[in-house]
Amino acid sequence: MNYVSTRGKAPDLAFDDVLLTGLARDGGLYVPDAWPTLSGADIKAMNGLSYAETAFRVIRPFVGDSINEGDLATIIDDTYAGFDHPDVAPLKTLAAGEHLMELFHGPTLAFKDYAMQFLGRMFDHVLAKRGERVTIVVATSGDTGPAALEACRGRDAIDIFNLYPDGRVSEVQRRQMTTVNESNVHNIAVRGTFDDCQNMVKAMFNDQPFRDRYRLSAVNSINWARVMAQIVYYFYGSARVTGGAHPVSFAVPTGNFGNVFAGYAAARIGLPIDKLIVGTNRNDILSRFFESGLMQTGTVHPTISPSMDIQISSNFERLLFELYGRDSTVVRAIMNTFKDTGDFAVGPKQMATARQLFVSARFDDDETKKTIRDVYEQSGELIDPHSAIGIAAGRACRGNTDIPLISLATAHPAKFPDAVEAACGVRPELPARLSDLFQRDERFTVLDNDLAAVQDFVSTALPGTA
């Protein structure tokens, strides 16, 4: 299988090159040149399989000949063996026909581990085979950084530089980054905002000599391999709830549209899905879009669900490509308009197609806290603010209650203890694997919001690279 860019001006690539490339050279995103399909019988045969076995069956067609099957199976087994629940993505029942899939049993307690742990291993495997190294640079507002560092720590072929805004991430999040004590891990606390960090990462990618000298690479959610690894739990959840034979709906708290796009991909390759319910916080660009057909950025407001404080949903471009019948000329024009004006509109025909599958709702911080409280009172489950937005959206939008609903719990409540305690009076405790987090030594370097200073820091840390 090959991959094509949504903007049609970058070379087609095989899976292993897409993995290492991340963003296409024309600014677009890579997608499979055709969707593989799993038959009804294939899907029913996943009933009762372990998470790793399910992952192998879902991922294999996307990888094609890039990685041999034995190696792929080993990498997948190794990835999920380190998760701290035997089911990897366990399901709980909140009410009749309403389920919660916990995606926080990886090392950093957020769903990003499910793809990132796989990505780190895949990078190492492909790079070792080629005898190459890469330097990963990542900007984080709090959840991507820890997941990326845990995935890359100690890997032979990778150095990773992690930029986060000094003083603007939670203490748990900061410690999850700064206590990763490995010589290939470099934490930079930037005297600035998340946007400043993001802009410096983009600038380093745009500095071609720098980019080439250090072989920069990206693990953010525009990397196709992350979306791919997230398709798995839609199949797994559906198999656990219905045996895979009947439609289910999924409620997904959404920021960059990566997670819920993986749900769309699951539907495209054959999983029976009734609705994909997109929950947003006050930063409601996506909810407004599904109501009006107009995508329009605004200012980012801080909320108690900070990993969704986003006003540009990068992965949406992949859906746009599908809605316009994979016409990269149209996508290119729309994305150019968006860059110039900060908005674009999608036609009525395309919106009708989108609305067959997607519905959306937004919730402010008070509504989010109320959902945390309600769920705790109804079922005794503590949920984090992001997961609460998914549950609230699911309850508001599911429509036909005969169809089972699975809400995705994207973070462990102990990642956001203050918000959870304020909502329901109970302070969630860190799981055993992180219980000594506040005793571990921290390592980080504070730098000004200055590109030259950050680039100097990279050059000094990697003296052998010329």
Ligand X SMILES: *Cc1c(COP(=O)(O)O)cnc(C)c1O
Answer yes or no: are the C-beta atoms of 359 and 301 closer than 8 Å: no
Q: Which region, judged by CB under 6 A, interacts with ligand X, from 23-31, 72-80, 132-140, 254-262?
A: 254-262
Q: Take residue 142 and report the two structure tokens written for it.
A: 């709090």
Mention every residue, 6+ apart, whose C-beta is less than 8 A from residue 166. Answer: 189, 190, 191, 192, 446
**Residue among 112, 275, 369, 415 flagged as catalytic:** 112
Task: Tell the smallest beta-carbon distance from residue 228 to ligand X (Å).
Answer: 13
In the complex with ligand X, the residue whose CB is nearer, 80 or 257, is 257
Report if residue 259 touches ligand X, rule: CB under 6 A.
yes
Task: Tell the smallest beta-carbon distance from residue 438 to ligand X (Å).
Answer: 21
The span from the CA of 463 to the CA of 369, in Å, is 49
Report if residue 255 touches ligand X, rule: CB under 6 A.
yes
Report if residue 79 touches ligand X, rule: CB under 6 A.
no
- Give the residue among 155, 107, 188 at the shortest CA–CA distance from 460: 188
Q: Using the CB atoms, write b or e for 3-21: b if 16+ within 10 Å.
A: bbbbbbebeebebbebbbb
Question: Is 112 assigned a catalytic role?
Answer: yes
In the complex with ligand X, the residue whose CB is nearer, 32 or 385, is 385
Report if residue 31 touches ligand X, rule: CB under 6 A.
no
Residues 384-423 that bind ligand X (CB under 6 A): 386, 410-411
Mutual angle of helices 69-81 and 112-130, in 10-degree steps: 140
- Give the residue among 231, 198, 20 at the shortest CA–CA distance from 111: 231
Q: Binding pattern to ligand X, positions 275-304, x when CB under 6 A?
A: ------------------------------
Among 29, 72, 110, 139, binds ligand X (CB under 6 A): 110
Q: Using the CB atoms, write b or e for 374-408: b if 16+ within 10 Å.
A: bbbeeeebbbbbbbbbbbbbbbbbbeeeebbbbbb
Among 105, 112, 362, 395, binds ligand X (CB under 6 A): 112
Task: Tell the smallest beta-carbon distance from residue 258 to ligand X (Å).
Answer: 3
Give 101's strand partners.
Answer: 91, 408
Residues 302-321 that bind ligand X (CB under 6 A): 307-308
Residue type, 173: Q
Q: Which residues are catalytic?
A: 112
Residues within the interface to ligand X (CB under 6 A):
110, 112, 143, 221, 253-259, 307-308, 386, 410-411
